Structures are given as C-alpha cells and as structure tokens.
Structure 1
Amino acid sequence: MKELLKELILIDSSTRDGANQAVEFCRQWLIEHQLKPSLIENNGYKMLVCEIGEGDKTIVFNGHVDVVSGKKEQFVPVERDGKIYARGAADMKAGVAAMMVAMKELRNQKPGVKIQLQIVSDEEIGGMNCTGYLVENGYRGDFVICSEPTQLGIALQAKGVLRLEVEVTGKSAHGSRPWEGENAIVKAYRVYEKLLELPFTKESSDFYESPSVNLAIISGGEVFNKVPDRCEMSLDIRYLPGQNPDSIIQEIESIAEGKVTVGLKGIPVATKQDDPFITQLKPVLERHNDGEAAIFGQHGAADTQFFAVHGIPAIEFGPIGANWHGDDEYVELESMEKYKDILIDYIKSY
C-alpha cells in the first residue's frame, strides 16, 4: 500500500490533465487486481466507479485524487520517521490508496453489503463535475465514507458554504477633499463590521461555537487622488447545520446598503450520531483505536455535501496527517494501514 501511495503522489494531479492521469492509473491498478472499474467522463473530468459485494445496502467509498498546486519537489514522496511527506499525501491520496487496497482484499469475501468505490478528479475545485455528477446520475448508495484526513475520527457534520458579493456605492471627489465625497471602501468596511454583529453570527451548535465569516476580497478605487465611489466585498461564509442560508442572505441585505449577489450556496452535512451506519462503525473504530472514537464537525466542505442534499448519511473519515495544502504535508503510514483495516472490518461487520 505504501508503494501504491508513492506512485500516486508521483503524478502531479494539480491540473485537470494530471488528475485525469491519476484516475487512469487507479483504474489500471484495480484491473490488475481483478476488479472491474468503469471509467466515466463529464466536462473533461474523469472518474471511476467500481462495485463489489452483494446485499440490499450500498456503502460508498469516495475519494479524490486531485490536489492543490505545489512545488515541483513536493510531488516526489519523502519517507521519514514513519511518515510520507508530499503534496496530496494526506489530502487525500493515502485515503484513496487505502480504499483501493480494501477493495482488493474484500473482492472475494462476499460481504453482506455492496461497496461502491468512487474515485474523482475535481473535489478541490468544488466537485460538481465528478461527485456532483455521479450523485445526480444515481450513484448514491445508502451511506458514504469520504476518506478525507480526519486523524481517524468521524466527522459527522460540515458547515454549509455561502459565497456572496456585496457591492457598495459612494460618491467620488478629489482626493485632497475627501469630505466632499463618500468613500465606498470605508463604507463597505463599516458594512462588514455590522455584518459581524448580525444575529446569525451569534448562533452555535453541538460541534461549532459559531459560523465563520471570511472577508476574502475587497476591491475598489482607481487612483490615489480620487475618492472611490464603488467597492465590492467578496465574503466566504460557512454556516451551521440548522441555519437557513436564505435567512442569512436577508440579514445581510438588511444592512448591506448595496447590491448582494450570491455566487455559491452549498448545504451543510448533518449526519446523526445515532444513525445505524454510525453506530455500527463506532465500535469497530474503537476496537482499533483502543479508546473512544472522536466525533466532530468539519469547518470546511467536502464531497459529502452532494450526498447530504439527498438525505444520505455521509461522513469524512480518513488517516492521520497534517499540513494539507501546506509545504510540509504528510500522512502517518501506520494510520493508513489501520484505516484500511478499519474499513475492511466495518464491511465484514455486515
């Protein structure tokens, strides 16, 4: 499995072509191990689906092989102190490799459920072309495990995503006489400060102290000697399960003093702790961890969101690693092996 991971890492999958190449590599590996993957393409993005097992229920193993950009040397895996350092080692080629090996080891064991492996190539840019496409075309299953790095904990929930632009207008004037104008940048920032005090920002839940609001981009002004008469703020809001995004938008519109344009609205994931798939996974995980399973909520979004739209319980659950999207990304090899064994024992529990 370690060698499989290293081969996957050597493929620079930070571009569409590279990610497609990684999917093709996974397909060939599965074929060489007596599995029968189907290759699917949508809008130039490749993905594969491979199914084994039998039964009334289908458990989906979902993983992505695309990665964020990195330095050239990050695509050469370095093994040190029981870890592999590389771009994509944790996020999430280790999880994908473990799922592939689990499929290989389960292929002749006839578990009491179907397992559907999905390997996709566009999660880092939103997932609409691959997992979103698969879900809308019936590849849904009854329970979904996305092998994002979670330190071998179960991420039951994920915040929803709301990306919007707020356009604020002012009045231009000569830069030497700013009192004769109305500075749109200053006005926009005051709107932002009001936004941080809106009721939706003060709400909390079991896993989260509050939603998050990121002022990602602010653009306005043209030259030094002119009071800017227009400013646009780009906001990335991660809202809680149970919150209504339309109500959040209405709250923002009430203080915006300008046009609000919604660019993206992604729903939260809110899988229940007492869901039967979770109550069956938890003791398996605790046996391997020799202790209580960590259960938490993620701040960011993953491909679990596409299943949540249809009410399908989905979790993020994967090996131990750190610094994904950073310079020193790594995965712990022992956790990768343990993760594979947990997946196999979980499937066998059916």
Structure 2
Amino acid sequence: MDCIEITKELIKIDSSNLDGANKAIVFCENILLSNGLKPKILENNGFKILVCNIGSGDKKIILNGHLDIVPGKAEQFIPYIDDGKLYGRGSADMKSGAAAMITAILKLKDKNLPCAVQLQLVTDEETGGANCSNYLVQKGFTGDFVICGESTQLGIGVQAKGILQIYLEFSGKSAHSSRPWQGDNAIVKAFEAFKIIENLPFTKEKSELYNSPSVNLSKIEGGDVYNKVPDYCKMCLDIRFLPEQNPMEILKQIKDAAGVQVHIYAIGNAVKTKIDDVYVTKLHHSISKITSNKAALFGQHGSADTRFYSKYDIPAVEFGPIGQNWHGNDEFVIVDSVYTYEQVLIDFILNLGSN
C-alpha cells in the first residue's frame, strides 16, 4: 500500500477512543512487520506506542505521528476522494502525515543512511500527550531533531506558544439583588480584574514569530439565583505565552494585579526551536527542492507533541501535508501533498550528511 491507501485504511478505524487508537497502532505494526522491519510496541497506562528504527550513526531523526483523533460522525469514517482531496476524520490531523512517515521509512530502510531514524506512532496527542510522547521522552526515546507530522500546508511550524491555564477565586458579600449597593459582587470583581489582566505588560510583548501572547477568559463560575448578589466567583483563563516568556513572571504580574491567589490548572512548555537551526535549514532546503517553492516558517498558536522534546532543548518542528478543517465536518487532505510530503522526508534524511 502507498501512503494514500494507508491513510484510507486508517481513516476507517475510529481511533477517537483508546481501543480504536490501539487498533490503529496494530494495523501500522503489521505493515512494518510485513515489510521486514522490527517495530516495538510499548504500552503506558493502556496506551499503545509504536517505535521502529532504521539506519545508524551519531545523529538521530525522530518522525513522530499520532493516530488518535477527535470524535466524528459515522460517515467521516468512510474515506473518499473528490477533486484531489481525501476526505475523512483524521485525514489531515494527522493520519496522512503518519502514513507518509511509514512509507518513507519503508523506502529508506534498505538505503545507506547518514543517520539513524526512529518512527514514533502515538495514541494520545489529542488528549494531551502525557501517556505517549511525554512518556517516550522520559524513557530516553529522543534524538537530535524531531518532526511531528501535523498538517502545516508543507510549511514548518518552528515554534509554538506555551500553555498556562489558571483560575482565580474572588470573594464578595451577599445581598438582596434589589439593593446591590449593600453587597459586594464577586462576579463584577472578577470581570474588573480580567480587564486589568488583559492589559498587563506581558500581554504587550512580541517575538520574532508572534505579535503577542493571548489571554482567553474561558470559564466563569459564580452566582446561584437571580435575586442575590453573588459572593463568590471563579474565573478561568487560558493563556498562550511566547517562547521567550517566563510563565512564573506572568503569574506574578497577574497575582499583583488581581490581588488574589492564582492557581495553576495546567502548564505546558513552549517550543523554542530556532529559525536558523541547522536541521530546520536542511528541511527548508528539501521542501524548496521538492516543491520548487520557498516554505513558510511560522509559529503555532496551539500546541502539539513537539513541546515534550523542546522541554529538553531538542529542536522539534511541526511539518506535514496540506489539509483543512481538522476537527471539522469536512476535514480533508490534498492527495498530491501527501506524496510530496513523503518525498520531502526522504530527501531530508538522505541529504543530512551533505553540507
């Protein structure tokens, strides 16, 4: 099977749940085994992970792909091609990227490679990555450069913002809503604090790939009836900070401004890969060579499994085929771009030893 045929078969597997994601891993394992490779299946907290090595040398390239998806409608698990686009849940995010990584490995396995290459297929990226890519890094499955095959329109997502999810609790004083001046409205206090927070110094900072971080008021909890001034409010914020920013400094600014304790719900590392990193430069060259176009270098606003490698100063990027509407009803990937993506991966790996 070629990369599109593999993608179609993967789309047919509903991997939005653990059993389905693990089934997709076994499907890929069988492809590799039938072609003479020796993949290894790891398991962590029930999540299966596939690791497969080819080549040798002092340098190692990691090709990381996730097979889990967000839930979809029944018809989205019936792949079809229309006007050069392959439709189906996971077609762009990111079963096509994973499929092309598999076929690239198969085409490279018998060649004299200038480096070692490790294919990593994981099953929990959509739910945070803690059980798979994070686990792999902690267990020493690392390399000198990591490509996560997210759909990037054949551009290179060099960096990604960090994640800082926090909540603040505000206390007030209850009163009858017909006499609000006798109370102290906790919801109003939270909103007034938010207006200050979204204009703090950290929100005005820029970097080489970003105009600013972002602050989203994602959830608010307070009040219980119409005719009462609320005496409690919990405000939840989702902050995506710049690679150069220190989340602890952001927390300090917010605490000083809001005057209440700031509680961390979740925190995730930014991806700090440099634009002029030697591997980024070589990947950029391969893209330009294969596509005859200059690839875009950009920063992602969201996050991917790249962050687990960047935490240990391993340069990692997102790079994948051309697709649209991931997580949407009409998700698709451009068929030709998947073949192009495979060719770029092969060219990049074969030419790593050149100047």
- TM-score, length-normalised on structure 2? 0.97
- CA contact under 8 A between 1:169 and 1:258: conserved in structure 2? no
1:289 to partner: Cα distance: 1.8
SS at match of 2:261: strand
Deviates more, 1:243-252 or 1:175-184: 175-184
Q: Could you tell me which residue of structure 2 aligns to residue 63 of structure 1? A: 65
Partner of 1:335: 337
SS in 2 for 1:68: coil
Kindly provide the amino acid, as one letter, of the partner of residue 240 in structure 2.
R
Equivalent position of 1:259 in the other structure: 261
Does residue 162 (structure 1) correspond to residue 159 (structure 2)? The answer is: no
What's the TM-score once normalised by structure 1's chain length?
A: 0.98
The secondary structure found in structure 2 opposite 1:262 is strand
Equivalent position to 1:87, from 86, 89, 96: 89
Q: Which whole-Å deviations, capped at 9, do the CAs of 1:297-350 have from their partners, x for residues lacking one? A: 100111000100111010000000011111111100000000000000111103
Counterparts of 2:247 and 2:48, CA distance in 1 = 32
Q: Paired residues, what number?
A: 350
What is residue 53 of structure 2 aligned with on the other side?
Answer: 51
SS of corresponding position for 1:138: coil
Deviates more, 1:177-186 or 1:123-132: 177-186
Distance, in Å, in 2 between the alignment partners of 1:230 and 1:26 is 51
Q: Which amino acid aligns with 2:343?
A: D
Q: Which residue matches 1:15?
A: 17
Distance, in Å, in 2 between the alignment partners of 1:207 and 1:276 is 18
1:200 to 199, 202, 205: 202
SS at the partner of 1:40? strand
Query: Of 72, 75, 89, which residue of structure 2 is paired with 1:73?
Result: 75
CA distance in 2, matches of 1:22, 1:224: 50
Deviations 1:137-172 (A, max 9, x none): 000111000000000001110001101111111111
Residue 201 of structure 1 and its aligned partner are, at CA, apart by 0.3
Alpha-carbon distance, 1:78 to partner: 2.3
**Retained in 2: the 8 A contact 1:14–1:66?**
yes
Equivalences for residues 1-350 of structure 1 within 5 A: 1-350=3-352
The CA distance in 1 between the partners of 2:192 and 2:312, in whole Å, is: 39
**What amino acid is aligned across from residue 302 of structure 2 in structure 1?**
G
Query: Structure 1: which 5+ residue stretches go unaligned?
Result: none
Q: Is the 8 A contact 1:89 1:330 kept in 2?
A: yes
Cα distance in 2 for partners of 1:184, 1:258 equals 12
Distance 1:213 1:69 in 2: 27
SS in 2 for 1:319: coil
Identity of aligned residues (%): 54
Aligned-residue CA RMSD in angstroms? 1.0
CA distance in 2, matches of 1:287, 1:112: 19
1:69-114 superposed Cα distances (whole Å, 9 cap, x missing partner): 1222112212111011111110100100000000111111121111
Q: Secondary structure at the match of 2:337?
A: helix
> 2:193 and 2:329 mapped to 1: Cα distance?
35
Deviations 1:28-59 (A, max 9, x none): 12111211110000011111100000111000
Measure how far apart 1:176 and its partner are.
Answer: 2.0
Output the CA distance in 2 between the equivalents of 1:257 and 1:345. 55
Partner Cα distance (1:120, 1:5) in 2 = 16
